[in-house]
């Protein structure tokens, strides 16, 4: 990724998320609260550092984007109002807003369904996994 | 007393018993849920991006309709409640979102967050009152040990949802007491069930739900109750352990609405 594009994307993440990552004091409460912590390659508190360092390539390729459950535990418990979950979501938005950025295609869905599966699950997954 | 009511997609299908039992219980308690006309799906998850407008409009439509009828807007599904409550907060407090949403909607009168959004549990606590509910219970569920499963969406973020203390809630335990049963407090009651991750990563949701069920059972619960069809699905897909019911099903049972209390 070119330097200019990286800078622009880092700005975009701050804009979409509305988060000020400079306020983070690295207490780690977000990562300690995260139910997906073990599944994440970049942990919630590290996400903040990646945004600060403009290391966007790592962020947009991180599998953490698809492991966040939107449970809002990190957002609730952040003592500095940094809201790491919003940064994860903004990075995910950067990916799915680009052509070909969908995490799941419609063709992949039918085999994942079962008769009890609630519509709520499908609409939520669609909103998180694709544009 | 009439409230505007937003059932949401799942309550018309796999979560139909949540809808049915809530409507019956409401009538028995002296209030009515009047369904919003032509409501549209809330989208399931609240769009966090500050530049997301279109994804919030279905909530604004429902909120504006309730405002036109001068009614409070009642929800049942945790996800609908979460999304609509947060969009309402945006419409009230975020100038940019309010302006852009109203520019798009072109309503007769601009919407600025005037509608009060209540979850059905809040109606029971704050409008009916748990003491009055208790007085109307004809079939108290004596001796039943029930764990409240709150999950995420009703509670967090606490400042916006303003539902209960997000770390140490009591509303569902108070509800359980009101219907004559015994609440069991356990540590995982406000931990995530995995949510939509179970579409793609079923094992991840199962291991999270197993922790929740084991935790509740370990503290002596014989059953869990929830307000969320997705929590219900994830918990039920996790084999073994205690059973899970919608809180409204037990409410019907306690109110003596027998056909709703069993085998829903």
How many domains does chain B divide into?
A: 2
Whether B49 and B149 map to the same domain: the answer is: no
Q: Examine the domain organization and report whether B114 and B166 are in the same domain.
A: no
Q: Give the closest of A17, A119, A128 to B9, CB-based.
A: A119
Picking from B80, B58, B246, B157, the residue whose alpha carbon sits closest to that of residue A70 is: B157
Are B236 and B144 in a shared domain? yes
Q: Indicate whether B95 and B191 sit together in one domain.
A: no
Boundary of a domain, candidates B120, B153, B182: B120
Residue B161, C-beta contacts closer than 8 angstroms, at least 6 positions apart: B82, B85, B86, B154, B155
Mean pLDDT, residues B163-167: 98
Instruction: Round the average pLDDT of chain B to a whole number and report it.
Output: 96
Q: Are residues B79 and B52 in the same domain?
A: yes
Which of B68, B91, B120 is where one domain is finished? B120
For A41, B3, B33, B246, the CA distances from B110, given in Å and listed in that order, are: 45, 21, 25, 37
d(CA A5, CA A89): 19
User: Any CB–CB contact under 8 A between B11 and chain A?
Assistant: no
The C-alpha atoms of residue B147 and residue B224 are separated, in whole angstroms, by: 5
**Phi, psi angle pair for B112, to nearest 5°:** -135, 35
Last residue of a domain, one of B83, B98, B120: B120
Range with the lowest mean pLDDT among A16-20, A66-70, B260-264? B260-264
CATH code at B87? 1.20.1050.140
Band of pLDDT at residue B264, cut at 50, 70 and 90: very low
Q: DSSP H helical segments within B69-201, as ranges?
A: 78-93, 95-105, 120-122, 130-136, 158-161, 171-178
Shared domain for B52 and B167, answered yes or no, is: no
Q: Domain check: are B33 and B88 in the same one? A: yes
φ, ψ (nearest 5 deg) of residue A100: 80, 10
Catalogue all structural domains in chain A, each as residue range(s) with its CATH number: 3-98 (1.10.1060.10), 104-131 (no CATH)
Q: Of B41, B192, B233, which is closest to A117 when you measure between CB atoms?
A: B233
Smallest Cα distance from B8 to chain A, Å: 8
The verdict on a CB contact (< 8 Å) between A121 and B13 is no
Residues B44 and B87 in one domain: yes
Q: For the segment B5-41, what is each residue's pLDDT rounded down to a tens digit?
A: 999 999 999 999 999 999 999 999 999 999 999 999 9
Could you tell me if B222 and B240 lie in one domain? yes
- Residue B245 or residue A101, greater confidence: B245
Cβ proximity of B37 and B65 under 8 Å: yes
Q: Assign residue B229 the CATH number of its domain.
A: 3.40.50.1860
Label residue B165 left, alpha or beta by phi (over 0 means left) and psi (-120 to 50 means alpha): beta
How confident is the model over B213-261, as pLDDT tens digits? 999 999 999 999 999 999 999 999 999 899 999 999 999 999 999 764 4
pLDDT for res B107: 94
Map residue B183 onto helix, strand or coil.
Answer: strand
Q: For residue B38, which of B78, B68, B7 has the smallest C-alpha distance?
A: B7
**Which residue, B235, B243, B164, is CA-closest to B206?**
B235
Interface test with A, best of B45, B153, B158, B198 (most A CBs within 10 A): B45
Instruction: Note whether B251 and B136 are same-domain residues.
Output: yes
Q: Model pTM?
A: 0.96
Angle at A58 between CA A53 and CA A62, to 5 degrees: 130
> Are B135 and B114 contained in the same domain?
no
For residues B107 and B25, state if they share a domain: yes
Residue-number span of the structural domain to which B182 is assigned:
128-261
């Amino acid at each position: 990724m070119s330097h200019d594009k990286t800078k622009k994307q880092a700005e975009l993440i701050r804009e979409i998320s509305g988060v000020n990552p400079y306020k983070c004091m690295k207490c780690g409460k977000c990562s300690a609260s995260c139910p997906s912590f073990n599944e994440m390659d970049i942990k919630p508190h590290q996400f903040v550092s990646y945004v600060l360092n403009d290391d966007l390539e790592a962020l947009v390729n991180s599998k953490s984007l698809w492991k966040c459950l939107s449970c809002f535990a990190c957002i609730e418990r952040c003592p500095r109002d940094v809201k790491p979950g919003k940064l994860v979501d903004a990075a995910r938005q950067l990916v799915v807003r680009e052509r070909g950025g969908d995490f799941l295609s419609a063709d992949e869905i039918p085999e994942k369904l079962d008769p009890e599966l609630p519509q709520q699950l499908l609409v939520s997954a669609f909103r998180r996994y694709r544009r | 007393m009439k409230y505007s009511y937003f059932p949401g997609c799942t309550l018309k299908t796999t979560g139909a018993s949540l809808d049915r039992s809530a409507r019956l219980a409401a009538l028995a308690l002296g209030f009515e849920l009047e369904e919003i006309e032509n409501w549209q799906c809330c989208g399931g998850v609240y769009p966090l991006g500050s530049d997301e407008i279109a994804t919030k409009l279905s909530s604004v439509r429902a909120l504006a309709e309730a405002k036109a009828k001068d009614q409070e807007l009642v929800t049942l599904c945790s996800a609908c409640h979460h999304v609509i409550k947060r969009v309402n907060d945006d419409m009230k407090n975020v100038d940019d979102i309010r302006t852009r949403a109203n520019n798009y909607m072109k309503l007769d009168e601009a919407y600025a967050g005037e509608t009060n959004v209540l979850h059905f549990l809040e109606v029971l606590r704050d409008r009916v009152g748990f003491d009055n509910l208790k007085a109307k219970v004809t079939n108290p569920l004596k001796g039943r040990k029930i764990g409240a499963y709150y999950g995420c969406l009703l509670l967090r973020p606490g400042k916006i949802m303003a539902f209960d203390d997000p770390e140490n809630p009591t509303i569902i335990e108070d509800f359980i007491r009101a219907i004559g049963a015994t609440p069991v407090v356990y540590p995982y009651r406000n931990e995530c069930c995995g949510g939509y991750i179970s579409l793609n990563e079923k094992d991840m949701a199962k291991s999270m739900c197993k922790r929740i069920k084991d935790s509740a059972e370990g503290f002596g619960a014989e059953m869990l109750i929830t307000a969320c069809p997705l929590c219900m699905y994830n918990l039920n897909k996790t084999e073994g352990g205690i059973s899970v019911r919608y809180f409204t099903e037990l409410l019907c049972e306690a109110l003596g609405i027998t056909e709703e209390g069993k085998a829903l």
